[in-house]
Amino acid sequence: MNAAVRVCLVEDDPIMGESLCERFRLEGFDAHWCTSGAEAMRSLREQAFDVVISDMRLGDTTGEAIFDWAAGALPQAPPFVFITGYGTVDQAVALIKRGACDYVTKPFDLDALVARVLEIASAARAQDEGVPGLEPLGVSAAMQRIEAMLPRLARAASTVLIVGESGVGKERVAQRLHACLPDAARRPFVALNCGAVPETLLEPELFGHEKGAFTGAARSRAGVFEQAHGGTLFLDEIGEMTLAMQVRLLRAVQERQVVRVGGERPIPVDLLLVCATHRDLKAMVAEGTFREDLFYRVNVVQIRVPPLRERREDIPWLIRRFLSDIARQSGEARRHLTPAAEEAALAYPWPGNVRELKHAVERACIMSPAEWITPAALFPDAELPPPAGDVQAPLGDYLRECECRYIRGALESCDGHIGRTAELLGISRKNLWEKMKKLDIGHA
């Protein structure tokens, strides 16, 4: 790593903070020490850091509150590592499930912490070197497992098959895989939806054509195989191809060369081929609608992207990012979901997966003028289902969690300003302070 790793250390204990900061600087890190949650949030808003190391318990807030704030307020939150005592280990483990990178328990091995932070920063930079601004795939364990295997596939694989229902984000996985290639920013990424191109036009789209090859071919044109030479070719919905077209694709996959329509000269292509489908190709082979030899050629390495209903942890994370994107593109204030709307989103099965979720959030922002998006705005045409799963907590605990999330959302929308937050909630400052203390909510 050429540039020094930038670490934001959040620790209110002066002895511990000074010791950690000094050690990281001696190791060559660019360490910035924040003695409070408020200072950390200001620093994270103003500067870019590779890793955040935060104590779980701070004088004015908690590490969890900073983590939640960063996830919603920053375009891309840096990786978090938490320092925790015995009493907050369960809380730290829960944060890992929500997307935090790691935690260390007191007393901890400082050498191991330094090595772990360097490992996390190196992995984050390696992912970001490919396509600038490309976000993580998700915070669920399933999506993190996929993301963890992609660098290895980029180094070793030449053909990858991505399977999953429509709308799960197969192309985003392909883009992230491409981003793991060396010098990915200078390599082409070319995508083609085979199911959206008429059969008569699919062959020239794939392999190109020479001038005069057919009516309307006024000039020679390279197909997507040639366009992707040196980079990645993403062929979506290959299960929609006819058997005749599958034969032509098989030759290109086997020989890594193409012949343009109307041409005779074979053109070598060197690329990473990523195919995708929502169909069961093995069942299609049994039915005789997909060639067995092509199936084994493209199914060298298979990645299954689970549907959204199997990774519900990603739903709030995706919604926050969609809302941030909409605010950035429109120039308007960022919208927020009420706790009830978030519960409804978690309970809904999302048959259209991430695509349906994104459209629902966009529609709610367009149709609802309010800052807070309600369940009715998110699901205007549907009868809202009850929360999924059996009731596993007393009503008081559930209501406490809803109130906690609602107040945190209000604090975030008011940049942590107590007076404005109290006014937004329609309660007094004293009442707000009492609720925050009761619910263990810090502020910026």
- pLDDT tens profile 321-357: 898 888 888 888 778 888 888 888 998 999 999 999 9
| DSSP summary character for residue 161 | E
Other Cβ atoms less than 10 A from the Cβ of 383: the count is 5
435 falls within a domain: yes
Burial of 7 from C-beta contacts in 10 A (0-12 / 13-18 / 19+): buried
Within 10 angstroms of residue 223's Cβ, the number of other Cβ atoms is 24
What token pair was written down for 180?
């793991």
Confidence at 103, pLDDT banded by 50, 70, 90? confident
Pairing of strands 267-268, 257-258: antiparallel
Pair type for strands 80-84 and 102-105: parallel
Choose one of 107, 128, 149: the last residue of a domain: 128
Query: Does the pLDDT of residue 111 top 60, yes or no?
Result: yes
227 and 323 in a single domain? The answer is no
Same domain, 314 and 196: no
pLDDT in tens, 184-242: 888 999 999 999 998 888 999 999 988 887 877 778 889 999 999 999 999 999 999 99
For residues 133-149, average pLDDT: 80
Burial of 337 (0-12, 13-18, 19+ CB in 10 A): buried
Question: What value does the mean pLDDT take over residues 145-156?
Answer: 89
pLDDT of residue 382: 61
Q: Is residue 20 part of a domain?
A: yes
Does 444 reside within a domain? no
- Tokens describing residue 2: 């050429």
Report the CATH number that the domain containing residue 66 is assigned in CATH.
3.40.50.2300
Strand segments (E) across 215-264: 232-236, 257-258
181: its two tokens: 């290639």
The backbone torsions φ and ψ at residue 304, rounded to the nearest 5 degrees and listed phi first, read: -100, 120
- Number of helical H runs and strand E runs in the chain: 19, 14
Contact in structure between 185 and 129 (CB atoms under 8 Å): yes
> Which pairs count as long-range contacts for 428-434, CB under 8 Å and 24+ apart, including other chains?
432/407
**What pLDDT does 413 receive?**
62
In this structure, are 297 and 322 located in the same domain?
Answer: no
Whether 238 is covered by a domain: the verdict is yes
Is 386 a residue whose pLDDT tops 60? no
Tell me what percent of the residues of the chain surpass a pLDDT of 70. Answer: 89
Tell me whether residue 134 is in a domain: no
Residues 361 and 287 in one domain: no
My answer on whether 298 and 158 are in the same domain is yes
Q: Is residue 336 part of a domain?
A: yes
State the pLDDT confidence band at 383, using cuts at 50, 70 and 90: low
Are 70 and 173 found together in one domain? no
Q: State which amino acid sits at residue 424.
A: L
Shared-domain flag, residues 66 and 164: no
Sheet strand arrangement including 30-34: 30-34, 6-10, 51-55, 80-84, 102-105
CATH number at residue 343: 1.10.8.60
Quick: pLDDT tens for 296-316.
999 999 999 999 999 988 898
| Last residue of one domain, picked from the residues 254, 279, 304 | 304
Strands 189-193 and 159-163: unpaired
CA angle at 368 for the pair 367 and 374, rounded to the nearest 5°: 125
- Return the bridge partners of 257, or none: 268
Strand extents, DSSP E, 335-438: 336-337, 372-373
The secondary element (H helix, E strand) that includes residue 86 is none
Q: Does an H or E element contain 403, and which?
A: helix 395-413
Provide the domain count of the chain: 3
What is the C-alpha separation between 395 and 149, in angstroms, rounded?
Answer: 41
Residue 93, token pair as written in the block: 């483990």
Residue 389: what pLDDT? Answer: 45
pLDDT for residue 442: 60
**Shared domain check, 267 and 177:** yes
Q: Is the pTM of this model over 0.75?
A: no
Amino acid at the residue 359: H
Same domain, 258 and 368: no
**119/160 same-domain check:** no
Say if residue 281 is in the same domain as residue 336: no
**185 and 45 together in one domain:** no
C-alpha torsion sign, points 117, 118, 119, 120: positive
Domain residues for 189?
141-304
CB 40 within 8 A of CB 62: no
Task: Tell me how long the chain is.
Answer: 444
Q: Which of 97, 128, 159 is the last residue of a domain?
A: 128
Q: Is 261 contained in some domain?
A: yes
